[in-house]
Structure 1
Amino acid sequence: LRYLMCGTDCIILDPENEYRFLSDAVGGSFFNISLASPNHINPFDLPTPREDEKAEDVLRSNVLNLVGLLRIMLGGLTPEEDAIIDQALTETYAAKDIVPETDPALWLERIPLMQDFEAILEGMEGGESLVRRVKKFTKGTFAQFFNQPTNISMEKPLVVFGIRDLEDELRPMAMFIIMRYIWNKVRSELKKRILVVDEAWWLMQREDGASFLFGIAKRARKYWLGVTTITQDVNDFMKSAYGQPIITNSSLQVLMKQSPATIEVVQKIFNLTEEEKYLLLEAEVGEGIFFAGQKHVAIKTVASYTEDQIITTAPEEVLKIREAKKELGR
C-alpha cells in the first residue's frame, strides 16, 4: 500500500489468491491463472529491445530462458535433447521472420505458439521423443494454458497473478512463465516497480526456476525493479544451490515467527544469537527481526484497522468481510 502511495508499481505472484482484496481495494488487476481461466500468457512472448540492447542478444537470451522452461515442462533433457530444443526454438522464431535482421517493432505481431514449436520439432531428426512429450501442452489437457496468445496487460499500478487454482504439477511451470512475462515487460520499459514473489519455494524446487529467479534478483536494480521473495518453508528454499545467493543478494531481510523444526537452519543462515533464536520461536503475529546489512533489530508491525481489513488472510476475518460485502450489495 505504501509503495503504491509513493508512485511505485507493484507486481505480485500470489499462490493462494490472498491479495485479491488488496487488488479490489486499490483498483488493480487480478489475473486468475488456471487451466480453465480466460487469462493467458504465451511462453514464447518476447521483450521489445531497448535502444541500448542488440536484437541478437535479446533473442539469444530469450531462447536460453525458454530452454530452461522446457526442461521443467518436459521433465529434464539429455545433452542431445537440449541441443535439439535450442535449435528448434531458434527455427521457430525464424519461421515467423523473428530474426536479428528484422525490425523488432514487428516482432509482437508474429509471436509463435507452442504448436508452432511442435511443428518445427516434428521435422527435426532426433525430435520424435520430444514431440510426444510436447503434445501434452499443445493438444492435451494443458493446451488451454500453454498454447494460447497473451491476452493480458500490466497497465495498472497493482497487478496480481493468482495461481491458487492451478494443479501442483503445473505451479513451477506457471510461475516460471509468469516471471518471464513480468521480466520481459520490466526490461522493455523502465519504470519504478516492486515484484513480490510469495511462496517462492515453489519456484526454487527446480534448478532452472531457481536460476531464473536468482538472475532476476541479481539484475533487477538495473531496470528500476525491487524484488521481494517470501517463503514459509526455509528448508525447501535452501535446498536449492541458489537459495543462499538469493538471500545474500538481498539488501533487507525480515524474519517472522519460526518453528522448532526450522529454527536451527535459520540460526545458521542468519547468524542469530541465542536470544534472537528464542525471540523468533516465541514471536507473536507481526513480530520478528529486521535485517539491514550487518545490523538487525527486533520489530513489531502494527496494521491500521483499514489496512488489516484489506490484507488479512485469517479465515474467520475473510468470511466476515465477505458477508459484510454481501450485506452492502443488497
Structure 2
Amino acid sequence: MAKKKKLTAAEIAAQNEAMEAAQIQQAFEQGTNTLRDLISPSAIEIHSDYFRLGNKYGRTLYVYGYPRSLYTGWISPIINIDEVIDVSMYIYPVESAVVMKNLRTKVTQLEASMNINAEKGRVRDPELEAAINDAEELRDQLQVGAEKFFRFGLYITLWADSLDELKFVQQKIETIFGQQMIFSKVANSQQEQGMNSIMPQCTDQLQIRRNMNTGAISTSFPFTSADLTQDKGILYGINMHNNGLVIFDRFSLENANMVVFAKSGAGKSFTVKLEALRSMMVGSEILIIDPENEYQKLCDAVGGSYIRLSLNSDVRINPFDLPKVVDSEDANDALRANLVTLHGLFRLMLGGNQMSASGQVVPALTANEEADLDQALIDTYARAGITSDPLTHQSTPPTIMNLYDTLLHMEGSGPQLAQRLRKYTTGTFAGIFSQQSNVDINNQMVVFNIRDLEDELRPVAMYIVLSHIWNIVRAEQKKRLLIVDEAWQLMKYEDSSNFLFSLAKRARKYYLGLTTITQDVEDFMGSKMGRAIVANSSMQLLLKQSASAVDVLSDVFKLTEEEKRRLSNFPVGQGLFFAGQNHVHIQIIASETEEGLITTNPNAKRTV
C-alpha cells in the first residue's frame, strides 16, 4: 500500500491560497451573472420589420429624403410627440477639399446634361437649373469657409405594447414627416442594426446618410426651446428657456379651455387672477366661482360684481331659469337641455350617485323615481305656461317650491321624493335656491362667492351657479373666461363632473374659455371625467406638485425625467406651461401694482 506524501507547511499554505482564489473567482462570476440578469431584458426577438425587447415591441425607421430647404425646428414635432420614441442623429464632418472636388465633377455633369438638352431642342429643365445653382452657391461658400459639409443620419425607434399600437405610432410619425416633405422607411431586415444604432453606444450600423451643409444641419438641432410669443394676446410670464416673453391668446387654439394643477401655496390662484386682470384689458368678460374668498379684492378694484351666496344672504338663483337664446336651434332645445341639467342637479341634491364597496355606482334615484321626477319637472313647467314652444319661454319660470307641490300630489314615488326635497323648500336649506333669481351679472367681472355655504351645499351651489352662467353664455355670445376654483369638489360626484365636462366640450361654440383649477390632482385625474376635461383643454399649467401628484401628471403629460424632477422642486410662480403642441418652463411675473391687487399674502405691499 502506497504511503501518502506528507505536505510541507508551505505546500499546504499554497494549496489553501489557490482554493481561496478559486472561491473568490467563482463568487465574482456569480455576481457578474446576477447583475447581467438584472439589467438585461428577458429576451430579444428580431423580425424583419420589428423587434421585441422583453415585453416591449420596437421598430426602427430611417429618414432618406428631405425637401430642398429645411426650416429651424422641423424636428420639434417629433421630439414633442406624445409617444415613446428614441431619436438618434449621426453627424460626420467631411473635408472641404473632398467636397469641392466632388462638386466640381457634379457641376460639370449637370452642365453637360443641360447643354445636351439644349442641342436636342428639349424644353428647359427647372430642376436641373436649380441643382446647378445650388451646387455653385455651395462651392462659393465652401471656398471662403462660410460653410462646411457633413453627412447626416437620422434614425427613430418607436416603442409600444403591441404591434397594432406600433403601427399606429408609425403612422403618426410618417404623417408628421410627410407634411414637411420628409420621407422615412422601415429598416426592413435591418431591425437589429437599427436597434443597435439607437442605443447609447453610438454605433451607426445602418449607415444611411444624407449630404448637408452647415445651414441645413443646424435646423435639426433637437433642443430648440418652444417660442410662445404671438402678435396678440396677454403676457403670461417669462420663457425660462430663452428669457423671451410668453405672450399668448388662448382663443387662437382649437379651444380656449385651460387646466391649472398646483399644490397649496404654489401660486395657482395668483396666476389665474393675473390672467383674468390682463384679459379684461383686451375686452374679455370674467366669471369666477370663488370657494375661498380669494377674488374679492381684485373684484372690488376693477369695479366688478361680488355675489356672496349663503343661507343668510338675500341672493337668490333659480335653477329653473331658461336661457333667453336667440339662435333658433338652441331655442327649440332650451327646455329639454334644462330638464337634463335639472335631473343631474336633483340627483346631486338627494345625495349624488355613490360608489359601492365593490366599485359599482349606486344611483341616488331608482328607475321609477327618475321617471316620476321627469314627469313632475315637465308638469311643473307646464303649470307655469312653459312648453317646448320657444314662444312660451319668456314666462316666469317655476321654482323648487312648485316642483315640491307637484311631487306631493303625484302618485307613485312622488310624495317620497317631495319629502326628500323638503330641506331645500321649507327646511334647513330653504330660500337660496327655491325662489326667483335676483342676480344681476351685467358687469365685466362677476364673482360668485360660496365660502359661507355649508360643505354639503357647496357642490350643489357650484352646479347651480355653473348652470346659471351657462344660460347667460348661451343667450349672448361674448369673449368670456369662466374660472372654476377648487374644481375637485365637483369631480366627487358623477352628475356634477359630467356637467363640468359638458361645459368644457361645448364652450368653444359660445366663445367661452373654461379655466379649471385644482390642488387635489389625484382625485381630479382619478376621475374619468377629470381626464376628459384635461383632454378637452388646449392649455395646461403645472406649478409645483407634491411627490405623489408628479407621478400622476407625468403619466398624463408624458413628462421627461428632468421635468418630473423640476415639477416637485419649482419655486413659487414657476411651472410648465402647455399650449397646443408646445410647452415651456415659465416664470409667472406681475408688476408691483398687479401684485398688490391680486396677492393674498398679508405681508405683501397692498396697492389700490
Does the 8 A contact of 1:55 with 1:104 survive in 2? no
Which of 102, 108, 116 matches 2:402?
A: 116
SS, match of residue 600 in structure 2? coil
**Offset of residue 294 of structure 1:** 2.7
What secondary structure does 1:283 align onto?
coil
For normalisation by structure 2, the TM-score amounts to 0.51
SS of 2:446's partner is strand
Name 2:462's counterpart in structure 1.
175
Residue type at the aligned position of 2:473: V
Residue 30, structure 1, aligned to residue 306, structure 2: yes
1:328 alignment partner in structure 2? none
Q: State the match for 2:394 in structure 1.
A: 106
The amino acid that maps onto 2:521 is V
Contiguous gaps of at least 5 residues in structure 1: 326-330
Runs of 4+ residues deviating >4 angstroms: none
Equivalent position of 1:276 in the other structure: 563
Q: Where does the alignment leave 5 or more consecutive residues of structure 2 unmatched?
A: 1-276, 352-363
Residue 68 of structure 1, CA deviation: 0.3
Give the secondary structure class of the aligned counterpart of 1:143. Answer: coil
After superposition, the CA RMSD in angstroms is 1.5
CA contact (8 A) 2:380 2:406 kept: yes
Letter in 2 for 1:115: M
Whether 1:146 aligns to 2:433 is: yes
TM-fit CA distance, 1:105: 5.6
- What is the CA–CA distance in structure 2 between the aligned matches of 1:48 and 1:196, rounded to whole Å? 23
Displacement after TM superposition at 1:157 (Å) = 0.3
Counterpart-to-counterpart distance in 2, 1:184 and 1:315: 37
Tell me which protein shows more strand as a share of its residues: 2
Stretch moving more, 273-282 or 98-107 = 98-107
Q: Is the 8 A contact 2:385 2:392 kept in 1?
A: no
- Superposition deviation, residue 313 in structure 1: 1.8
Deviations 1:268-297 (A, max 9, x none): 111111110111111111100011223211
User: Which string of whole-angstrom CA distances, capped at 9 and with x for unpartnered residues, describes residues 187-246 of structure 1?
Assistant: 011111111111111111111001001101110111111111111111111232201110
**Which deviations, in whole Å up to 9, do the C-alpha atoms of 1:98-154 show, x marking residues without a partner?**
0123624632xx111111000110121121221110111000010022212111111
- When normalised by structure 1's length, the TM-score is 0.93
Question: Hey, which of these two has a bigger chunk of helix by percent?
Answer: 1
In structure 1, the partner of 2:315 is 39
* Aligned with 1:64 (options 334, 337, 340): 340
Q: Which residue in the other structure is 2:133 paired with?
A: none
In 2, Cα distance between equivalents of 1:65 and 1:141: 23
Q: Residue type matched to 1:136 in 2?
A: K
User: Residues 294 and 101 of structure 1: is their aligned pair in 2 closer, same or farther, counting only changes over 3 Å?
Assistant: closer
The answer (yes or no) to whether the contact 1:56–1:99 under 8 Å persists in 2 is no
Match of 1:227 among 509, 514, 533: 514
Q: Please tell me whether the aligned partners of residues 42 and 148 of structure 1 are also in contact (alpha carbons under 8 angstroms).
A: yes
Q: CA deviation at 1:27?
A: 0.2
Question: 2-side partners of 1:96 and 1:250: how far apart?
Answer: 39
Q: SS where residue 169 of structure 1 aligns?
A: coil
Structure 1 residue 56: Cα displacement? 4.0
- Spell out the pairing of 1:46-85 with structure 2 (5 A cutoff): 46-53=322-329, 55-75=331-351, 76-85=364-373
Distance 2:522 2:390 in 1: 47
